[in-house]
Structure 1
Amino acid sequence: MELRQLAYFVEVARLNNFTKAAGRLRIAQPALSQQIRKLEQELGIKLFKRTGRGVTLTWAGEQFLIGAEKTLAEAQMAKDSVKGFISSPHGKVMVGALESMVQTRLPSLLTSFSKKYPGIKVFIRENTTEPLLEALKKGELDLALAHSEVIYSSNIDLIPPKGLRAKPLCEDELVLIIAKRHPLEKRKKISIKELREESFVSFKEGSGIRSQLLATCNREGFEPLIAYECASPRTLVAEGLGVSVLPRLMTESPGPSISILPLDPPLSRWVSVFYFEGRYLSPCANALLQFVERYLISENEF
């Protein structure tokens, strides 16, 4: 058994597809399939079962994946230790983040991080919770800053990947935003059930805030009318095209003029940092993980 075979196996397991894994590994698919067959023959077990759209792990494959990722992690850790990366990390980190984090907390965090670790370059991929966690599963991201409460919405046939771990970082209050001179503008606070007749501007499907809004409205006995979905609801709300529920931090940052109403009872959402337990985190990714935890948790205490 070779480390190369373990790496091939892990890539196929993450992507559930031989063709995609071969492309990521930059080898021919027949060569990849041959190496996996050799590994299965040596182990005396089937690691994958075919499906209509690719492959999935067998029960034995799921157990083997745990050990394979651990072995690859220890091998990479040994290499980094010899190269001196652990004591003085330098390299790049791929991080997925919610748009609300990119617009509010991340800029100052990354500025502080770059001062402490000038040798580490951080690359950000912005998206909603579901695609971020799928990218994390596939190994396209090292870390993801996403919603804890709603990992996968009920209308999508997906389950959280095994081994996914989350550390809560900060809690954001959710508020209602409306256009200036809206009939509700003079209210001091408002409940979700009073918004039954309103048109909403929402983030696209996969957003934790959208899922939370839908769940809250359903508990109040109605389905919200989502007239528009976009990446920047505030812009459309300011033009009087509907109302929206957003994190307070996003509403208080510079942007089109809107009015803010607290919700009663209050709504909030937790943002967590996600990673895979047992999967190797490079010294750069580990440094960022620890920094994010300290920075955002201490920020949330004030």
Structure 2
Amino acid sequence: MELRQLTYFIEVARLNNFTRAAERLSIAQPALSQQIGNLEQELGVKLFKRTGRGVTLTEAGEQFYLGAERTLAEAQKAKDSVKEFINYPHGNIMAGALESLVQTRLPKLLVEFGKEYPGIKVFLRENTTEPLLDALKKGELDLALAHTLDVKYSPNLMNIVTPKGVCSKPLYQDELVLAVAKGHPLENRKTISINDLREESFVSFKKGSGIRSQLIAACLSEGFEPLIAYECASPRTLVAEKLGVSVLPRLMAESPGPSISVLTLDPPLSRWVSVFYCEGRYLSPCAKIFLSFVEKYLVSEMED
């Protein structure tokens, strides 16, 4: 058994597809299939079962997957240990982040991180919660900063499910507010309830967004489904053009940009932002340093 075979096996298991795994590994699909076949022959068990759209792990495959990840993690750890990493941290990280974070908290965080660890390069993938967690599970990200679902609304939050094997640490809580255009009939209200928004059109984040799911859940709990007229990564811009109202994190709503009015929701809504990573999967020294920095920076920022 070779480490290469374990790498191939894990990629197929993460993607549930031989073709996509072969593309990711930059090898021909027949060669990948042959290596997996050799591995199954050596082990004496079938690791995958074919489905209509790809493959899934057998019971034996699921058990082998856990050991394979641990073995590759130890191999990578051994490689890192000979790089004198502690004396001069260097390497690359692939991190995922919510669109709202990229527009508010992350720029300053990345600047400060770059000053302290100039040898570590952070590559950022911006998206909503659902695709970020999917990419994390597939091994495309080292970690992800995403929306933690509020258990209060979980019965109606059907679009987002945290993948099996993904765990998280809460970082901070964001107040959610209502953003309306200047001159909107609701502009002079100090507070507003979700129930008062039955007749409004909404500008929302894209599907897969935790805030979008939380908005839908809050509206459903009041007996109506919100009319989402537009969806985009920056709802505030469309709100300012009077294309609808939007539920946003307060920091995002009050950041510099097109002029809007911000109303407090009563009862209040909030969202937790957490850092997600795969349980048992190896985190490189770079990723561990970035994870520790993110935790300290965001928590201290909220306490200031």
Fold conserved (TM > 0.5)? yes
After superposition, residues 74-153 of structure 1 pair within 5 angstroms as: 74-149=74-149
Instruction: Note if contact 2:157-2:214 (Cα within 8 Å) is conserved in structure 1.
Output: no
Instruction: Note if contact 1:80-1:86 (Cα within 8 Å) is conserved in structure 2.
Output: no
Superimposed CA distance per residue, residues 5-50 of structure 1 (whole angstroms, 9 cap, x where no aligned partner): 1111001111111111111111111111111111111112111110
Task: Give secondary structure in 2 for the equivalent of 1:141.
Answer: coil
1:270 aligns with 2:272: yes
Among 261, 280, 289, the residue aligned to 1:287: 289
Among 184, 202, 205, the residue aligned to 2:204: 202
Superimposed CA distance per residue, residues 97-151 of structure 1 (whole angstroms, 9 cap, x where no aligned partner): 1111001110111111111101011111110001111111111111110001179
Look up the match of 1:241. 243
Q: Distance in 1 between matches of 2:59 and 2:301?
A: 43
Instruction: Note if contact 2:157-2:217 (Cα within 8 Å) is conserved in structure 1.
Output: no
The amino acid that maps onto 1:208 is G
CA-based RMSD: 1.6
Among 182, 185, 202, the residue aligned to 1:183: 185
Task: Could you list the structure 1 runs, at least 4 aligned residues long, displaced by more than 2 angstroms after superposition.
Answer: 85-88, 150-156, 158-162
Task: Give secondary structure in 2 for the equivalent of 1:21.
Answer: helix
Q: Distance in 2 between matches of 1:215 and 1:260?
A: 21
Look up the match of 2:36. 36
TM-score by length of 2: 0.95
| 1:89 CA drift (Å) | 1.7
Task: Give secondary structure in 2 for the equivalent of 1:67.
Answer: helix
Instruction: Note if contact 2:150-2:272 (Cα within 8 Å) is conserved in structure 1.
Output: no
The amino acid that maps onto 1:6 is L
Q: Distance in 1 between matches of 2:230 and 2:82?
A: 54
| 1:221 CA drift (Å) | 0.2
1:17 aligns with 2:12: no
Q: Distance in 2 between matches of 1:2 and 1:159?
A: 34
| 1:87 CA drift (Å) | 4.1
Q: Distance in 1 between matches of 2:52 and 2:158?
A: 21
Superimposed CA distance per residue, residues 159-208 of structure 1 (whole angstroms, 9 cap, x where no aligned partner): 53322011101110000010111111111101000100111111111111
Look up the match of 1:7. 7
Instruction: Note if contact 1:170-1:297 (Cα within 8 Å) is conserved in structure 2.
Output: yes
The amino acid that maps onto 1:173 is E
Look up the match of 1:296. 298
Instruction: Note if contact 1:150-1:211 (Cα within 8 Å) is conserved in structure 2.
Output: no
| 1:243 CA drift (Å) | 0.6
TM-score by length of 1: 0.96
Q: Distance in 2 between matches of 1:25 and 1:232?
A: 35
Instruction: Note if contact 1:8-1:32 (Cα within 8 Å) is conserved in structure 2.
Output: yes
Unmatched runs of 5 consecutive residues or more in structure 2 = none
Q: Distance in 1 between matches of 2:215 and 2:258?
A: 22
After superposition, residues 220-239 of structure 1 pair within 5 angstroms as: 220-239=222-241
The amino acid that maps onto 2:72 is L
Q: Distance in 2 between matches of 1:34 and 1:293?
A: 43
Greater alpha carbon shift after TM alignment, 188-197 vs 292-301: 292-301
The amino acid that maps onto 1:179 is A
Superimposed CA distance per residue, residues 48-96 of structure 1 (whole angstroms, 9 cap, x where no aligned partner): 1101111111122111111110110001000110122244220111111
